[in-house]
Amino acid sequence: MKILVTGASGFVGGGVIKRLNEQSNFHPVAAIRREITGLPESVAQVRVQGLAVDTDWSLALKGIDHVVHAAARVHVMDDMAADPLSEFRQVNVLGTLSLARQAAAVGIKRFVFISSIKVNGEVTSANKPFTPKDQPAPVDPYGVSKMEAEQGLYELADETGMEIVIIRPVLVYGPGVKANFLRMMSWLDKGIPLPLASIDNKRSLVALDNLVDLIITCIEHPAAANQTFLVSDGADLSTSGLLSRIGSGLGKPARLIPFPVWLLHATANLLGKSDISQRLCSSLQVDISTTRSLLGWSPPISVDEALHKTAQHFLKQQENDDLSP
C-alpha cells in the first residue's frame, strides 16, 4: 500500500515516514518542497511547490492509496503577519482542501488529517477534559484554520465518499523536539532555578512514538473512517511534575522554587508573555476513551519512558555539539 505523507520534513511527518518505512505492508512517499536528507533511501520523494490552493498534486498522488496530511502553516508565538488568520487560511484551509479534492478525484480511499487540540480550545477546567464531541472553541487564528479545514474535509467526504480521519494531538514531544520543550530541557540541563514549584495544573502530552502509532493505526482501521480522535499519552502531568520527570531523565534534578501563581501571571502579562504563563499554569486535558474504545488502541510507550528517551537524545545531541569544531 502506497501512502503519501505531506510535511515529511517536519517533526510529525518525518516520524510517520520513518515508521511506515519499517513496516513491509506500507510504502511511504514523501511530498516535499526540497530534497530531505536523513530519510531512508527507500522512501520516494516527490517535489511539490508547497501547500497552496493552486498546487498541482497529480504527480505526488499517482499510484497512492491513502494520504497522511501533516503539512501546515504552524502556530508560532508573536506572529508578525499583518493578517494572521488570512495567512493560516491560505495554507491550512484552502491548501488542505485543494489537496483533498485532488485526492478524491483520483480515487484516494482515505485522507488522514493531522489537526490540533486547539480546535477544542486552550484551557480545560478541573476534571473536565476535552472530548471529540465538544463544540469547537478555537481561540487563535491557527486553531480557527484547523477547525475550518476539518469542516471542509467532512463536507468533501459527504460529496465524494472519500473517508476522512481527523486526529487532534496535544503538545507533541520526543527525541529532536524543538521550541518551548527544548527550551525547558536546556534550562534544566543548566541547573537554572525555576519559580514553578507551586503550579498544580494538569496537562495532557503525547509522545511522538504514540502519535505516530495512532496515525498508522488510522490508515487502515475500518472503525476510523469519518471519525475525530483526540490523542495523548494517557497520563496527565502538572508543569512541576513534568519538569521533575524531565530532570530525572537528564540526571539533573529540577531546581523548582515555590512562587505564587498569580504573581507569575502578573509578571508574564507585564512582559507581554501571557501566552507562556497560560501554557505553564493552566490545565489542558483530553479524554482519549473514544480513541481507545473505537480502535482498540492504547499508547504503546509510557510517559516516563518517552520523557527519558527524549532527555537522553537531548544529552547526546549536546555532547555531539560540544565535540564539533
pLDDT in tens, 204-234: 999 999 999 999 999 999 999 999 999 999 9
157: domain CATH number is 3.40.50.720
Q: Is 142 a catalytic residue?
A: yes
In a domain, 306, yes or no: no
Of the pLDDT bands very low, low, confident and very high (cuts 50, 70, 90), residue 77 is low
**Which among 172, 108, 119, 173 is positioned nearest to 143, based on CA atoms?**
119
What pLDDT sits at residue 42? Answer: 87
Maximum pairwise Cα distance, the chain: 59
Separation in Å, CA 183 to CA 228, 313, 314, 317:
31, 14, 11, 14
In a domain, 320, yes or no: no
The count of domains in the chain is 1
User: Parallel, antiparallel, or unpaired: how do β-strands 110-114 and 205-207 relate?
Assistant: unpaired
In a domain, 262, yes or no: no
Q: Is residue 76's pLDDT more than 70?
A: no
Q: Which amino acid is at 222?
A: P
In a domain, 305, yes or no: no
pTM here is: 0.94
In a domain, 183, yes or no: no
Report the alpha-carbon distance of residue 309 to residue 185 in Å, rounded. Answer: 13
Mean per-residue pLDDT, 247-258:
95
Percentage of residues of the chain with pLDDT beyond 90: 80
Report the alpha-carbon distance of residue 237 to residue 18 in Å, rounded. Answer: 28
Domain extent, residue 66, equals: 2-169
In a domain, 60, yes or no: yes
Mean per-residue pLDDT, 18-40:
87
User: 31: which DSSP letter?
Assistant: E
Catalytic residue among 11, 26, 88, 142: 142
What pLDDT sits at residue 80? Answer: 65
In a domain, 20, yes or no: yes
What pLDDT sits at residue 226? Answer: 98
Report the alpha-carbon distance of residue 24 to residue 46 in Å, rounded. Answer: 21
Whole-number average pLDDT of the chain: 93
Q: Is residue 284's pLDDT more than 90?
A: yes
What pLDDT sits at residue 39? Answer: 82
Angle formed at CA 135 by CA 131 and CA 138, multiple of 5 degrees:
95
Render pLDDT for 108-147 as a digit per residue (tens, 0 to 9): 999 999 999 999 999 998 789 999 999 999 999 999 999 9
In a domain, 46, yes or no: yes
User: 90: which DSSP letter?
Assistant: I
Separation in Å, CA 5 to CA 26, 46, 57:
12, 10, 12
